[in-house]
Amino acid sequence: MTIKVGDKLPDVKLVRATDNGPEAVQSADYFAGRKVALFSVPGAFTPTCSARHLPGYVEKAAELKAKGIDEIAATAVNDAFVMGAWNKSAGSEDITMLADGNGEFAEALGLTMDGSGFGLGKRGQRFSMIVDDGTVTQLNVEQPGDFSVSSAEHMLGQL
């Protein structure tokens, strides 16, 4: 079943990429008590993700926070080391990287895709959501190959 607006996020383990290395976090704890702009990409360092998706959130971080977002987080079916390197390469301190190395979060959300044709295996779909105290208040899932409704610009228009 795919998550929808009004649902609580499933409680699964994610791994936050930090300067001190990977740090395990439970999604229920991470999203509790704050408003988070979360976006998901099929993979760190992939073309659209690196050229447009992450840079858009870096560029619009201050505007998102000015509209009530407490934290901006990115997730992908990659390990925390890759997510941390991607943030150092193209991100900013305004973005928290949440690694979903085994795809358990994407699976629990019902938002997986098969990237086998590109050598990627099972991945998370490209999407964005606003999560308020663990509850999804906005959800934007891209059609395969598209990049529009999961952008930072689109999310700003929803706030």
Active site residue 49: yes
Exposure string for 83-113, b = 16+ CB within 10 A, e = fewer: bbbbbeebbeebbbbbbbbebebbbbbebbb
Provide φ and ψ at 14, rounded to 5°.
-120, 170
Distance of alpha carbon 39 from alpha carbon 138, whole angstroms: 11
**Active-site annotation holder among 15, 41, 49, 152:** 49
d(CA 155, CA 159) in angstroms, rounded, equals 7
Q: Which two tokens stand for residue 86?
A: 């991607």
Q: What positions carry a catalytic annotation?
A: 49
